[in-house]
Structure 1
Amino acid sequence: MSTMPTTMEVVHPGPIATFQDLGRHGVMGLGIPVSGALDERSHRLANRLVGNPETHPTVEATLGGLAVRFSGPVVVAVTGADVDVFVGDRQEAINCVLRVPRGTTLRLGAPRSGLRSYVAVSGLFSLPTLFDSSSTDLLSGLGPEPLQAGDRIDLRRPDPGAVNPAAISFAPVSVPTSHVICLVHPGPRRDWLTQSAWETLVSQEFCVSPRSNRIGVRLEGPTLERRRHEELRSEGLITGAIQVPGDGRPVVFMHDHPTTGGYPVIGLVRAEDLHLMGQLAPGDTVAFRPA
């Protein structure tokens, strides 16, 4: 006799919540961004805690507020931003294994620090894939739509014994902070900006603009002066590129960035530091130092 699949019902999506995995690789030549979890470390940790492969999608919830209800008992983990987690009326912690009974709502509060939470559920969300990924790309609209109240997503059950809470019940990791230091490499168009622009980039502090999103982290503060003012032909971009538009205010391109751009790239954020950029909320600050 067949059994009904467990479903996750979205009670409230919060400001924005999307499905993200490790992204689409090898297709930027087609104009398709990588996408995927902005804080990849937290995404991987959430999956490990519930016994999933790290490639499985998680829910990336920005600024908390997510509430989801499950039609059957599930094992979940919440990582990333420092938020209050509620299973029904019971308050729980982040970075640990949580058991959610059938019909119970999992709810996230507003972050005290950090920006994005990652919710993993033991098993696999039944989602469409494109180029081996179920990530939502907000720039092109590829992948599943952002979550909306009333959405129901089926869950494929995990293999029996996939989760061993006694071995991985809690992960002692640090929570995001409101100020980070990221290492940067010189970019391919550093010579299009003045030497003082580079010195400013790697010595001053910048503030995250409210206009930031999954496409790019826009920075406010000191402006970076261009040495050359002619038009630059569009050229390829990669995640972590620090582009300087005409107003001199740098933009750090994140996972949903366009694959080409026509402003000079002064630097590249070290790949190992991108998860820090992915947790910066508006008003947080970042300092860059030479790699």
Structure 2
Amino acid sequence: MTLTILRTGPLTVIKDEGRPGHAGQGVAPSGAVDRGAYARANALVGNPRGAAVLECTLGGLRVRFDEPATVALTGTDAVLTVDGTRTAVEEVVSVPAGAEVTVTMPRRGLRSYLAVRGGLAVPAVLDSRSTDRLAGIGPAKPAVGDTLPIGPAPATPSPRTTSPSLAALPSTASPSGTPSPLAEGVGGPADADGPLEVDLGPRDDWFTAEAIQTFLSAEFTVSPSSDSVGLRLDGPVLARARTDELPSEGVVRGSVQVPPDGHPIVFQADHPVTGGYPVIAVLTPAAADRAAQARPGARLRFVVAPA
């Protein structure tokens, strides 16, 4: 069974749980940027943990299966269409052989995850099928005309599927029928879903008390230069209490690193293994997933996670 790429949209890559354990080789774990949405997509179609899926940024993806397939879409409010017919959001969908499956542009959120029962069976690199954009390893970005193999169906019972039955929808539109504004973030421009929880440290002592207070009270805006490596934030400058040079040290997904210009960067899945600037705080795993859905222009706030 295969999947053929008919259109990629702004950016589509292959992702799984990542490749932990290779930091000594200078390779970060990478993997899906929104881990929760990725896991839900696989669970819906009955795949085991770690199966590879398509991570689609801002919709626009269109594919075709050569045999009947079972698929699910998670992560945003993008709509999955089958031959132009809408399906329900985060539902298991049965796709006939030869049908064209499209992911529309979402109104809210950034990254959608398309899972197919059996998973994408592209060759693994360092035990992972994730595209790592920083290290430049893993499968190449899918291109129009590429044919990707699908693995055998897992032994788990086949999930209950829904056949497309809703109103037809143009494949290039958002669910409202109009293009989605790039500046609308996962919680809307005003961060309606609340602040992102963090644990302070390990280098919060490198910042002034005023900078810590500002970090936990001010609003920051996601810069257009953000990507799967990191969210670059515009806003108030976070002043250091120490101006020493910090030796490079290990960093993890969700680390909030502050370079000399004082504007924080939230590391995402394809972050570097080490960083030479102080980390003021680290997002909780759930908060890191929410940050993965923040578009350029989205406004973010931070709060200390409860003990």
Q: TM-score, normalised by structure 2?
A: 0.87
1:89-238 matched pairs, under 5 angstroms: 89-159=84-154, 162-165=157-160, 176-178=186-188, 179=191, 180-238=194-252
Relative to structure 1, is the Cα distance of residues 200 and 11 closer, same or farther in structure 2, using a 3 angstrom cutoff? same
* Cα displacement string for residues 124-150 of structure 1 (whole angstroms, at most 9, x for unaligned residues): 322111232111100011100111111
- The aligned residue for residue 258 of structure 1 is 272
What SS does the corresponding residue of 2:109 show, helix, strand or coil?
strand
Check if 1:282 corresponds to 2:296. yes
CA RMSD of superposed structures (Å): 1.7
1:1-12 matched pairs, under 5 angstroms: 6-12=1-7
Runs of 4+ residues deviating >6 angstroms: none
Report the alpha carbon displacement of residue 176 of structure 1 after superposing the two structures with TM: 4.6
Percent identity of paired positions between Structure 1 and Structure 2:
42
Cα separation, 1, equivalents of 2:106 and 2:206 = 39
* Cα displacement string for residues 177-206 of structure 1 (whole angstroms, at most 9, x for unaligned residues): 232421111112212211111111111111
Cα separation, 1, equivalents of 2:256 and 2:161 = 43
Segments of structure 2 that go 5 or more residues without pairing to the other structure are 163-184
Cα separation, 1, equivalents of 2:66 and 2:155 = 19
- The aligned residue for residue 170 of structure 1 is none
Relative to structure 1, is the Cα distance of residues 212 and 73 closer, same or farther in structure 2, using a 3 angstrom cutoff? same
**Matched-pair contact (CA < 8 Å) for 2:253–2:271:** yes
Specify which structure has the higher proportion of strand.
Answer: 1
Match 1:273 to one of 284, 287, 290: 287
**Matched-pair contact (CA < 8 Å) for 1:82–1:176:** no
Q: TM-score, normalised by structure 1?
A: 0.92
Report the alpha carbon displacement of residue 243 of structure 1 after superposing the two structures with TM: 0.5
Cα separation, 1, equivalents of 2:148 and 2:157 = 21
Cα separation, 1, equivalents of 2:299 and 2:154 = 43
**Matched-pair contact (CA < 8 Å) for 2:80–2:101:** yes
Cα separation, 2, equivalents of 1:27 and 1:81 = 31
Relative to structure 1, is the Cα distance of residues 52 and 110 closer, same or farther in structure 2, using a 3 angstrom cutoff? same
The number of residue pairs the alignment matches comes to 279
Cα separation, 2, equivalents of 1:72 and 1:102 = 4
Segments of structure 1 that go 5 or more residues without pairing to the other structure are 1-5, 168-174
